[in-house]
Amino acid sequence: MKESIAIVGANLAGGRAAQTLRKEGFEGDIHLIGMEPHPPYERPVLSKDVLLENCNPAQAYLQTEDAWEQQGIQLRLSTVVTRIHRQSRQLELSDGELVRANKVMLCTGGRVRRLPVPGAELEGVEYLRTIDDAVAVRDRLQTGAPVVVIGGGFIGAEVAACAKLIGCEVTMLEAEEVPLWRVLGHELGGILCGIHRDQGVRVKTRTTVDRIEGNGRVTNVVTSEGERIEASTVVIGVGITPATELAEGAGLDVGNGIMVNEFCETSIPGIYAAGDVANHPNAIVGGRVRLESWQNAQKQATAAAKSMLGESKTFNDVPWFWSDQYDLNIQMSGQPDPTDSIVYRGDKSSRSFSAFFLRDGVLRSVVAFNRARDVKRTMTYIASRQILEPAQLGDESVDLRRLGG
């Protein structure tokens, strides 16, 4: 009987895994099963170009539906997998159909974390995770409209930036002292907060939401301090939670995601996981991590697919992430920690500088504002955990490609 592989999650990770299987010569059946009605697509453009109408949402697709068919990949959309039958190696679908699979990859991703406050169900209150979400938010961002963004993480900050560029009156509410404090630390988070304020966004920090008001449709957001902020649209961006229910039902080890080993295999042989849902060991970071990024979804899914075919190569990449806000490109490699010491290269007030995060002399992470080359040139140092001289990192006359020699 022909070998069969099933991938649960027709998203970026699932799509790249299916493409890799074919590229590596797998000739068996591939079932790519997804809950959404859209074929696999990339998410970064949703909170950037789609909101600004710089691209058609369909341009985010990895390839057309016809292309999947031509590659012999059975793309099953608007379909939910309800159970994995481990003994019989079958997946049960919501309509009762059973799909046979010798091996399974779980790319179930995550779902938006809902804000548990009164009024969160009103019309005009949106989240941003899917293409349909992005289109719904885009259609509400009109010049002059009062928009409240709840959450100052990367998604919230990108939405706030797009809304302001469109001409909306934007208020961003952040529970922490500065946006992205847990990722960037107080100083960098404060710099980013200042950039948003310079652009005309009203940023309220140390602020939580008590309720959202409206008569069928949102009209105001009421903060925990009692301030009532006018809003015709509210976009909530308070993170995602990993979708582990299917894995739990199958008896897989779960803990802040689906636990996998260095080859992306779960606690049950023959079942793999990749993307936003996978919690994997990373020697570069120095522990287990679950990463929510475009780079990780692509590379981990590719590695997992190769592992399914017998190529036992450890997945151990330097994390990398980017965000575009206004005329600002932020790139980040490694995993910064607010407790690390920071060395700056360039003028922090110029919107063109890099911050190097060091721990015991070892470069752990780089965050660059409009300096992508600084990130590219130092990722090898993060991977090798090389001890570097802080003065050289901060000296712009020193070539970053020739440190530690």
pLDDT score, position 146: 98
Q: How far is CA 200 from CA 93, 326, 333, 338, in A?
A: 49, 12, 29, 27
Per-residue model confidence (pLDDT) at position 185? 86
Strand partners, 7: 32, 105
Looking at residue 183, its pLDDT comes to 86
Give every residue of the chain whose pLDDT is below 70, as ranges.
404-405
Cross-strand partners of 105 = 7, 272
Q: Return the pLDDT at 11.
A: 97
DSSP 251-267: T--BSSSEE--TTSB-S
The pTM of the full predicted model, rounded to 2 decimals, is 0.94
- pLDDT of 236 reads 98
Distance CA 370, CA 350 (A): 10
Summarised one tens digit per residue, pLDDT across range 268-278 is 999 999 999 99
- Read off the pLDDT of residues 352-370 as tens digits, 9 standing for 90 and up: 999 999 999 999 999 999 9
What pLDDT is attached to residue 249? 96
Residue 86, pLDDT score = 86
Q: Which helix (H) or strand (E) holds 206?
A: none
